Structures are given as structure tokens and as C-alpha cells.
Amino acid sequence: MKLPTGNWVRFHVKATGKTTIEGLIQDARFIDADLSFNELNIREKNTDDFSKNWSQDAKTITIKDAKIVTDYLFQNMVSLEGAKISVESIKEPKMTGK
């Protein structure tokens, strides 16, 4: 996250126990992780707005060893058992391409 001062910080979130998220919506540009889905659904619509043509959801998603770059992230509820949150001052974020 870029601060008003122009400096950058990165937030690290690590949970050692079960993590539950409800109502997750994200616009992820990059995900590098070990992912497994239970009851994955992928839906296609044919609209003029490409961003609304595809959606997916799953009953459960297991994410291990993740690096995620997202421009938008929202959730209704999150529970992180054994969570440790830290903040790191960085020069600037790594860019994943355009």
C-alpha cells in the first residue's frame, strides 16, 4: 500500500489455524499458490462487459503458500485462527506485468 507520504508498506498475514472467509470478492491480477477447490462452479455469461462474463465460486477453497496481488478485496467476515499480522516498509512493490 502506498502511504500519503509516498512511502510503501506491505502487510503480511499468516494464520497457523483454520481460516474462514465469507462473501469474498476480489479482483486478483496475480495468484501464485497451492489451491484446492471443493465444489467449484464456473459460470459464463455473454455480455458486452467482459469483466462480467465469467464468475466462479466454491464451497471451500484451501490456499497454501500464497502470493496474491489484488487491486480490490472485500469480504463480509474473516476468521483467522492463530493470526499474526506484520507490516514491512518496502521501497516499492514488485510489478507483475500489465
- Residue 96 pLDDT: 62
- Residue 95 pLDDT: 67
DSSP line for 36-89: EEES-EEEE---S-GGGSEEEE-SEEEEEEEEEEEEEEE-SEEEETTEEEEEEE
What does the pLDDT look like over 12-67, one tens digit per residue? 888 888 888 888 888 888 888 998 999 999 888 888 887 778 888 888 888 888 88
Report the predicted TM-score, pTM, of the whole model to 2 decimal places: 0.52
Q: Inform me whether the pLDDT recorded for 4 exceeds 90.
A: yes
Q: Inform me whether the pLDDT recorded for 98 exceeds 70.
A: no
- Residue 8 pLDDT: 93
